[in-house]
Amino acid sequence: MSDLVPVQFHVNGRPVRADVPADLPLVDFLREELGLAGTRLCCGIGVCKACTVATRRTPTSQAQPLLACSTPVALLQGQSITTVEGTGSMDKPSRVQQAFLDHFAFQCGYCTPGFVMATEMLVERLRAQPVARAQLDAAIEDAVGQHICRCTGYARYHQAISAVVLAEKGLVVA
């Protein structure tokens, strides 16, 4: 068993303090200690991206994708993590979640949390630095192109993401 390491960080805006094994993966901590089951463990080696969460090193920094299956909790000292549960709820889905529903973007839904988180971060990046309309497909590919959907929902995910981006003024320029 690993030595325990004290860690303090935020998850979905809530402070978390814990003593954790140095090698405990974030996905296990989220699911087992915090009861946040939305982040999925699929491949376990960071290839499929189903476990993607957003992390901010400082409160004002831009969110970056983090693979919860291969990142030890002990490395998250002082950071802020957002999981799919932090983006919306069953009663009030985020714009991204609603677009995925509207476009029937998923079948089994296992990979959906990773796609949601990657899209939320894409929208945030585009708010800071819009892209030309001609570059939108490339921006979407950059954001979610490495994510694996075993049900082959890629086209619908792409349509939903495009719809979200195009619906918000200022993310795409002529």
CATH number of the domain at 74, please: 3.10.20.30
How many independent structural domains does the chain possess? 2
For the ranges 27-31, 111-115, 138-142, the lowest mean pLDDT is seen at 111-115
Same domain, 76 and 28: yes
Q: Which of 15-24, 39-48, 49-58, 91-100 has the lowest mean pLDDT?
A: 39-48
Q: Considering the entire predicted model, what is its pTM?
A: 0.93
Report whether pLDDT(128) > 80: yes
Average pLDDT of the residues in 17-24: 95
Residue 36 has pLDDT above 70, yes or no: yes
Residue range of the domain that includes 32: 4-86
Judge contact between 41 and 69, C-beta under 8 A. Answer: yes
Q: Note whether 63 and 114 are same-domain residues.
A: no
Question: Coil, helix or strand for 19?
Answer: strand
Report the alpha-carbon distance of residue 6 to residue 81 in Å, rounded: 17
Final residue in a domain of this structure, among 69, 86, 103: 86
DSSP output for 106-164: -SS-SSHHHHHHHHHHHHHHHHHS-EEGGGHHHHHHHHHTT---TT--HHHHHHHHHHH
Question: Quick one: average pLDDT of 82-99?
Answer: 95
Q: The domain that contains 101 carries what CATH number?
A: 1.10.150.120
Same domain for 135 and 73? no
Whether residue 138 sits in one domain with residue 80: no
Same-domain check for residues 13 and 81: yes
**Closest residue by Cα to residue 36 from 20, 57, 53, 19:** 53
Please indicate, yes or no, whether residues 75 and 121 belong to a single structural domain of this protein.
no
Please indicate, yes or no, whether residues 52 and 120 belong to a single structural domain of this protein.
no
Give 46-83 pLDDT, tens digit per residue.
889 999 999 999 988 999 999 999 999 999 999 999 99
Q: How confident is the model at residue 1 (pLDDT cuts 50, 70, 90)?
A: low
